[in-house]
Amino acid sequence: MKTKLYILVLILMTAFGCSEDEMPEIDKQTVLTDEIFDLRINEEVLFEEGELCIKFTTIVEDNRCPQEVDCITDGRVWIQLDITENDQITTIDLVSQSTPFTDSLKQVASIGTHEIEFVAVKPDASIDVELEDEDYIISLKIREPLLSVCDHSVIIDNVAYDSLNTETYSITAVEVYGDCLYITINSNGCDSNNWDANLIDWGAVAESSPEQRYVKLELINDEICAANFYRTFIFNMTPIQTSNNEILINLEGWDDFIYYQY
């Protein structure tokens, strides 16, 4: 009898999902704005006052470069989420790295009055392991819509560019919004609120169509702690505009071109 009851509960959980009609005794994790949270396939969370329900439903594609191999690009993971609001379900697509020159697949999508960002995915791709859907853990963040107000400006300094060490962090997300470049990094420290950063441009323009510029992010972090944090820095790109209305930005540590149109 207990076995039959357990199976019935599982069937009901699967059937109702994020619906308002689901059984009240089944609790879900609730996440807040700017909180990074993890989901496995078919897991779901509620946002703030339950106005939105987010469910990880599908791995569409995983073409990441295996960690044992040197590839030209890192590749990406393409996922689908079901967003339920007022009992209406909308499916959205997100990728772990944006594709240049296209608006079809992005790391960030609008949900209600907020945006949801695909922050990271685990485990890494490996030539020795064929991942099943249930092996994936995705990290997401819901945030307020980005404003075109930049905290920092790009610094043009070829000497600083040449001497800059970029091995103290990894870049997990990049997004252009207006004249602002949003760069999310992952690094160790005591408190990411104490960090600062500069974006240094090499100074020269590579002739191509569009023209290209080269930049490096300088992380200012003197803390000696093993805790791991994410932090997003925002840079004003108007100092590196050229006479044309578009450029490609090569960011050290990020494999794809960053397309900036102005």
Residue 161, phi then psi, degrees to nearest 5: -60, -50
Same domain, 57 and 185: no
CA angle 183, 211, 244 (to 5 degrees): 100
Confidence (pLDDT) at 104: 65
* pLDDT at res. 147: 58
Phi, psi of 149 (to 5 degrees): -125, 115
Q: Same domain for 136 and 238?
A: no
Q: How many structural domains are present in the chain?
A: 2
20 vs 18: CA distance, rounded Å: 7
- Longest C-alpha distance within the chain, in Å? 76
The answer on 166 and 44 residing in a single domain is no
DSSP the chain: -HHHHHHHHHHHHHHHTT-TTS-TT---EEE-TT-EEEEETT-EEEETTTTEEEEEEEEEEE-PPPTTS--SS---EEEEEEEEETTEEEEEEEESSPPTT-SSS-SEEEETTEEEEEEEEES--BTTB---GGG-EEEEEEEPPP-S--SEE-EE-HHHHHH---TT-EEEEEEEETTEEEEEEEEEES-GGG-EEEEEE-S--B-SSSEEEEEEEEEE------EEEEEEEEEE-GGG--SSSEEEEEETT--S-EEEE-
Domain carrying residue 23? 2-143
pLDDT < 70 stretches in the chain: 1-27, 49, 98-104, 145-149
Domain end, chosen from 143, 177, 196, is at 143
| CATH code of the domain containing 92 | 2.60.98
**Domain identity same for 137 and 47:** yes
Q: What is the pLDDT of residue 8?
A: 43
**Residue that finishes a domain, picked among 114, 143, 172:** 143
Distance CA(245)–CA(61), nearest Å, equals 34
- Whether pTM > 0.85 for this model: the answer is no
> Are residue 116 and residue 181 in the same domain, yes or no?
no
131 and 172 belong to one structural domain: no
Q: Of 110, 143, 176, which marks where a domain is finished?
A: 143
CA neighbor of 204 nearest in space, from 194, 193, 215, 196: 215
The pLDDT, as a whole number, for residue 9 is 41
State whether 38 and 119 are in the same domain.
yes
Measured from the Cβ of residue 86, the count of other Cβ atoms closer than 10 Å reads 8
Closest CA to 233 of 252, 255, 248, 218: 218
Same domain, 88 and 156: no
